[in-house]
């Protein structure tokens, strides 16, 4: 594997807790497998997978401080639902702290939690890998979605959104407006 990716892996191991690091490796390899399947640049997919949760393990206070420092604008919803912040913040840290020059990688990181309408292949691969990586075991239809990921990424994304919205509807968590927008877009694609 590229020496650059090995170095980044060491950095992530220091920045993330054990569970998150194991999840991150799962996402990295799953994104790599999907990139091989669809003929997308392997290093791009591995890097995006490896860094997608790079901002996840900071305290809320630190996340707000870093958003301020790097000029990351948060919606009111994100300010109240801080679990969402790591996506946008992670995209900026990928560039500023981990020196990722490819804007497509940063973009895939920024939309990995809520998705967004009309995601490109790398966006979809990271979004899907986050959901299906081998450590994940709670979601319904996981086996079916894992198979679909290698056949039709648009369909896999729409299945994930359908199940995520169902899950959020049954929980006290409010649905992010972007998650809803992404859901509406992909349901109309069917
Ligand atoms: O970072 P991961 O745990 O790997 O996965 P993720 O980036 O999908 O983040 C999951 C977190 O984001 C989880 O705490 C639920 C939250 N989340 C995702 N979509 C929404 C949401 N929270 C709210 N309130 N509304 C959403 O639409
Ligand atoms: Fe995440
Ligand atoms: Fe993740």
The whole-number pLDDT of residue 34 equals 99
Q: Write out pLDDT tens, residues 34-68.
A: 999 999 999 999 999 999 999 999 999 999 999 99
Give the number of other Cβ atoms within 10 Å of residue 25's Cβ: 19
Query: Where does the pLDDT of residue 189 fall: very low under 50, low under 70, confident under 90, or very high at 90 and above?
Result: confident
pLDDT higher than 80, residue 190? no
| DSSP assignment string, 50-75 | HHTTTTTTS-HHHHHHHHHHHT----
Q: Is the sign of the CA dihedral 105, 107, 153, 25 positive or negative?
A: positive
Atom in ligand 1 nearest the alpha carbon of residue 87: 7
The half-sphere exposure of 50 on its side-chain side, counting CA atoms within 13 A, is 23
Determine if ligand 1 sits within 6 Å of the CB of residue 129.
no
- Pocket probe for ligand 1: among 126, 173, 180, 181, the residue whose CB has the most ligand atoms within 8 Å is 173
For residue 160 and ligand 1, the question of a CB distance below 6 A is answered with no
pLDDT per position as a tens digit, 98-146: 999 999 999 999 999 999 999 999 999 999 999 999 999 999 999 999 9
Q: What's the rounded Cα separation, in Å, for the pair 23 and 21?
A: 5
Question: Rounded to the nearest 5 degrees, what angle is found at the Cα of 137, between the Cα atoms of 84 and 185?
Answer: 50
């Amino acid at each position: 594997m590229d020496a650059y990716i090995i170095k980044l892996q060491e950095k992530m191991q220091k920045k993330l807790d054990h569970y998150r690091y194991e999840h991150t490796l799962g996402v990295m390899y799953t994104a790599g497998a999907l990139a091989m399947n669809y003929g997308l640049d392997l290093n791009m997919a591995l890097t995006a997978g490896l860094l997608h949760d790079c901002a996840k393990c900071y305290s809320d206070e630190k996340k707000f401080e870093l958003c301020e420092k790097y000029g990351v604008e948060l919606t009111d919803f994100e300010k109240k639902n801080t679990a969402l912040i790591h996506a946008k913040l992670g995209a900026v840290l990928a560039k500023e702290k981990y020196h990722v020059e490819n804007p497509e990688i940063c973009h895939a990181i920024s939309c990995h939690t809520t998705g967004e309408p009309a995601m490109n292949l790398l966006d979809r691969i990271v979004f899907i890998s986050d959901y299906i990586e081998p450590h994940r075991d709670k979601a319904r239809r996981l086996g079916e979605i894992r198979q679909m990921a290698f056949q039709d990424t648009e369909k896999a994304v729409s299945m994930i959104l359908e199940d995520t919205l169902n899950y959020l509807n049954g929980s006290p968590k409010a649905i992010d407006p972007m998650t809803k927008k992404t859901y509406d877009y992909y349901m109309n694609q069917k």
